[in-house]
Amino acid sequence: MYQVFNEQYKERITSFLKNQRFMHHIDFDLNVIEPGKTEGRMDMQPFHQQQSGFLHGGVIATVADTVAGFAAFSLVKEDQHVVTAELKISYFHPGVGEQLRAVGTVIKQGKKMNFCEAEVYCSKKGGEETLIAKASATMATIFPEDIKK
């Protein structure tokens, strides 16, 4: 189980998401926020696609990074933040469908680093999901003294 250092993690994440312009731009929103786990969904739009009609790899990497990052962020203290130190992503299938779902989970919690995984799925409305990508991410904790004002 995870050690939660800030019981207000849901409110903190929700507050950050309100100001997260890029996530609003791609219409991606978190619908599950738990200690060490977040999940988000979006309806796939033409502007998410590359020339072949498949979901753009950058969108897949972005949502994987986002759910992994917020999963780690749910576990840090109120005055701390996280930043992606490393993101490795493997693409299994082209992103084809109407909806995308991404799940981020902390695999190992640490004081300075959280090791996370993310899975990204595509599905047709009401249909079966296809795992299209999986990522491993290392999220570094940013301490107050690390932030230069």
| Residue ranges per structural domain of the chain | 9-139
Q: Which amino acid is at 58?
A: G
Residue 45 in contact with residue 61, Cβ under 8 Å?
no
- Going along the chain, which residue ranges are E strands? 29-34, 37-43, 81-91, 99-108, 113-123, 129-142
Q: pLDDT value at position 59? A: 93
Instruction: Tell me how far CA of residue 102 lies from CA of 6, 43, 54, 64, 141, in angstroms.
Output: 24, 12, 17, 6, 22
* pLDDT tens column, 38-95: 999 999 988 888 878 899 999 999 999 999 999 999 999 999 999 999 999 999 999 9
Round to whole Å and give the CA distance between 14 and 49.
27
**Percentage of residues in the chain having pLDDT higher than 90:** 72
Instruction: Calculate mean pLDDT across residues 1-17.
Output: 92
Check residues 149 and 113 and name the one with the higher pLDDT.
113
- Residue 125 pLDDT exceeds 80: no
CATH number of 9-139: 3.10.129.10
Q: pLDDT value at position 22? A: 84
Q: pLDDT value at position 17? A: 87
pTM above 0.75, yes or no: yes
Q: pLDDT value at position 124? A: 85
Chain-wide mean pLDDT for the chain? 93
Q: Give residue 149's pLDDT band: very low, low, confident or very high (50, 70, 90).
A: low
**Percentage of residues in the chain having pLDDT higher than 70:** 99
